[in-house]
Amino acid sequence: MFFDPMYLLYIAPALLLALWAQWRVKSTYAVAQQMPAPLSGAAAARHILDSAGLQSVAIEQIPGHLSDHYDPRDKVLRLSPEVYQNRSLAAVGIAAHESGHALQDAHAYVPLTIRNAIVPVAGFGSNAGVWMIFIGLVFQPLQFLAYVGIALFAVAVFFQVVNLPVEFNASSRAKAQLVDLGIINTQELTYVDKVLDAAAWTYVAGTLQSIMILLYYLTRLNSSRD
């Protein structure tokens, strides 16, 4: 199943989109990283959070390249060194985006609530589900496992779909806050906009890939029944 040419045919569009998105992220980030900003990424995030009354949300520096994320369980914004320390439009844009997730959490943004609720099942489904599908397709007496695996993998796909509005909304909140709070002006927003839009395309590519893999599994399962 893993060497089926049809599998590559199904996921080829998503892979090409992902390669293009990664290239765009690197190129736009490189340009925006050279553009100075009045605040560091950590300071910009702190300003956004405090202005929203979220003084209780901590900001931590963590190792890794662009490992930035918001942890809704611990209410902590974790930023990579290049975002935490640097005073660039790239840094404040990414920090603001992660702050956008904290704002979503504080306002009980529904897609984020749904996403957080299905994280454990989605993580299990994207791994165990694939193996259950494989076993069910190879061993006909255990074909029922393929159906269970597809159901689990479908949850992972649903997670990806729900994650899209979460990421797009976080970017919208970030760009609005950066301008409204006077951290950057509308001309500087152009660079931030390009970085966040490029990052959004990586999520689109990941979602498309998950959907196409699910369709491939469904096709294989239908073929095995005929």
Residue 59 pairs with which residues in a beta bridge?
77
In angstroms, rounded to a whole number, what is the distance separating the alpha carbons of residues 226 and 222? 7
Largest alpha-carbon pair distance within the chain? Answer: 65
Two tokens at 187? 């001309």
60, 82, 98, 167: the active-site residue: 98
Sequence-ordered list of residues with C-beta below 8 angstroms from that of 171, at least 6 positions apart, any chain: 97, 100, 196, 197, 199, 200
Residue 15, Cβ density class (10 Å: 0-12 exposed, 13-18 middle, ≥19 buried): middle
Is 98 labeled as catalytic in the residue annotation?
yes
Q: Which residue numbers are catalytic?
A: 98
